[in-house]
Amino acid sequence: MEFIFRASPNILYTFLTTPSCLTRWFCDEIDISGSYFTFLWNGAEEVAELVVDIEDELLRFKWEDADDEEEYLEFQIGQSPVTSETILVVTDFCDADEVEDQKRLWTNQMEQLRKATGG
């Protein structure tokens, strides 16, 4: 899914990688140890390894308990050459019967991120 932001790529990158910012829009708590991010939601823990990190451009996480080795969560940050708006592309995997729920989830999460980043 693709989302438009008024915030700069640097600000978005900060909100995708720092604990104090991630807890404002993505999870309840987080612990980062090296390349491993432990996310907590309502007491449930999920661990992901940050496997690609290109500052202000791209983050790719591989979930520790993913069903498929090819699954990942990716945030790609770019800018429109015409409008200079920041574009955040989110790539996530789910079962076919969960697609609409995942779209709603990411739309809601991006609204929280917009509020947190001011745009």
Q: What is the mean pLDDT of residues 82-87?
A: 92
- pLDDT for residue 54: 98
Kindly tell me if the per-residue pLDDT of 119 is higher than 90: no
- Grade residue 27 by pLDDT with cuts at 50, 70 and 90: very high
43-59: average pLDDT: 97
- pLDDT band of residue 112 (cuts 50, 70, 90) is very high
Complete domains list, the chain, with CATH:
2-117 (3.30.530.20)
DSSP 8-state code for residue 68 = S
Whether 15 and 117 have beta carbons less than 8 Å apart is answered as yes
Residue 107 pLDDT exceeds 80:
yes
The pTM for the full model equals 0.92
